[in-house]
Amino acid sequence: MLLHKAVLAGLVAGLFAAAPALSQQKVKIGFITTLSGPQGVIGNDMRNSVELALDHLGRKMAGLPVEIIYGDDQVKPDVGKQVADEMLKKHQVNFVSGVIWSNVMLAVSPTVTGAGTLMVGTNAGPNQLAGKDCNERHFTTSWQNDQTPEAMGKYMQEAGINDVYVMAPNYAAGKDMLNGFKRYYKGRIVDEVFTRLGQTDYQAELSQLRAKNPKAVFVFYPGGMGISFLRQYSEAGLRGQFPLYSVYTVDELSIPAVKHAALGQLETRYWSPDLKNPANQKFVGDYQKKHGRPPSFYGAQSYDGMMLIDSAVRAVKGNLADQKGMIAAMRKADFNSTRGKFSYNTNHHPIQNFYLLKAVAGPSGKDPVMEIQKTVFANHRDSFYKECAMKW
């Protein structure tokens, strides 16, 4: 009996002694995205891809088990910041990742890096964080916002397309997209039209557009706005009349809702499901198998986010206290990215290719799919890295 008690006491003591050590033996990642409301569809795709990445890693990084904590920002900067605070203080995460929206990112990233934790953004790329507010603890696996419209501007410039009619929602990102576009497109712009954020009916604008008779149309309509816009564009019979070019408007999440109305759509992007490299084929194939539909670029860059973190943890052999070592490792971008090989610029934003994609008919009666047409930019740097004071 006495022996029993002693053994038990010993066991309990052992447990308590081991507990803190055990909790150190884990890689804790906080992943912030939007999981509720209409935009939750993006967050869902990101979460699916993060889970797939962890499955591919065997849920371990450098032999340490990975614990992932998801947080919902509800598309609100203040909520995103709160969620980040909770991850930092309560869960004591080693990395914070995710974040779809630029305004949320501008609230979350300084909170995370200010607390001395590493931030791996997997979507939003506001120019501030690529330029004057760059930070050695902040990395992104996606892009700087302007890069994608810059690619479309360059393509349309080189294709000699003139008289372009441009449209975007009237908010910060809408204006950024047009600025990015005009950085490379130097031809005539027939008219610039800004519509209300969240607008559902575009018939009035489409009537004006038809009357102006442009040679081409360039738009930025993310999410539900894009779905409404594409349907109405097609329904108004403009599809055949004025070629439509866009950024962040047609993707794997919106195609099921617009189907044939997307056919022929041209978009620029750094990634596509048909990109031929082993990492991408594994990612797209397994995602398709698990969820019955192709992943979106939001997913691809979130998958990459986990792989980037894994490369850092492996480089320091699981010694998570060695932050300098992890930063040095991440700067090498030494992992198999779904976009293929890329490198990091001095501001921790990717130097990468951008492609022209077209929505073409899918296999036998299936939804249209995005297909790469050509490379628009090889190893494209963003336009803000010179404002970043970081040197390495």
Partner 1 sequence: MILIIEQILNGLQLGVMLFLMAAGLTLVFGIMNLVNLAHGALYMVGAYLATYFFQATGSFVLGVALALAGTLAVGILTELVALRTLYERDHLDQVLATFGLILIFNELIAMLWGRAAIYSALPEYLQGHLEIAAGLRYPLYRLLIIVVGLAVAAALWYVVVRTRLGMLIRAGASNRTMVAALGINIRLLYTVVFGFGAALAGLAGIMAGPIYAVQPGMGELVLIQVFVVIVVGGIGSIRGALAGALIVGLVDTLGRAFLKPFLATVTTPTAADAAGPALASMLIYLLMAVVLALRPEGLFASRG
Q: For residue 338, which of 352, 326, 328, 324 has the smallest C-alpha distance? A: 352
User: Smallest gap, in angstroms, from Cβ of residue 103 to partner 1?
Assistant: 19
Name which of 202 and 377 has its Cβ closer to partner 1: 202
Name which of 234 and 272 has its Cβ closer to partner 1: 234
Backbone angles phi, psi at 267, to 5 degrees: -135, 155
Name which of 204 and 321 has its Cβ closer to partner 1: 204
- What residues have CB less than 8 Å from 12, skipping those under 6 apart? none
Radius of gyration of the chain (CA): 23
Angle (nearest 5°) at CA 336 between 381 and 80: 65
Cα dihedral 316/139/269/259 (nearest 10):
90
User: Smallest gap, in angstroms, from Cβ of residue 60 to partner 1?
Assistant: 31
The type of residue at 168 is A
User: Smallest gap, in angstroms, from Cβ of residue 223 to partner 1?
Assistant: 8
Query: How many of the other CB atoms lie within 10 Å of CB of 367?
Result: 18
User: Smallest gap, in angstroms, from Cβ of residue 194 to partner 1?
Assistant: 4
User: Smallest gap, in angstroms, from Cβ of residue 179 to partner 1?
Assistant: 14
Give the 3-state secondary structure of residue 244.
Answer: strand
Exposed, middle or buried, 356 (CB in 10 Å: 0-12/13-18/19+)?
A: buried
Q: How far apart are CA 342 and CA 351, in angstroms?
A: 6
User: Smallest gap, in angstroms, from Cβ of residue 224 to partner 1?
Assistant: 4
**C-alpha 288, offset from chain centre:** 19
Name which of 213 and 343 has its Cβ closer to partner 1: 213
User: Smallest gap, in angstroms, from Cβ of residue 150 to partner 1?
Assistant: 22
Name which of 72 and 387 has its Cβ closer to partner 1: 72
Give the residue carrying structure tokens 């995370």: 112
Say how many Å lie between the first and final Cα of the chain, rounded: 65
Name which of 123 and 353 has its Cβ closer to partner 1: 123
Q: For residue 204, which of 189, 193, 218, 216 has the smallest C-alpha distance? A: 193
Q: How far is CA 15 from CA 11, 18, 26, 77, 241, in A?
A: 6, 5, 17, 41, 73
Name which of 157 and 241 has its Cβ closer to partner 1: 241
Residues forming contacts to partner 1 in the complex (CB under 8 A) are 37-38, 40-41, 44, 170, 192-196, 198, 200-201, 203-205, 207-208, 211, 224-225, 227-228, 231-232, 235-237, 253-254, 256-259
User: Smallest gap, in angstroms, from Cβ of residue 142 to partner 1?
Assistant: 21
Give the residue carrying structure tokens 């934003």: 349
User: Smallest gap, in angstroms, from Cβ of residue 336 to partner 1?
Assistant: 29
- Measured over the CA atoms of residue 345, residue 175, residue 180 and residue 148, the dihedral's sign is positive
Name which of 143 and 218 has its Cβ closer to partner 1: 218
Name which of 258 and 359 has its Cβ closer to partner 1: 258
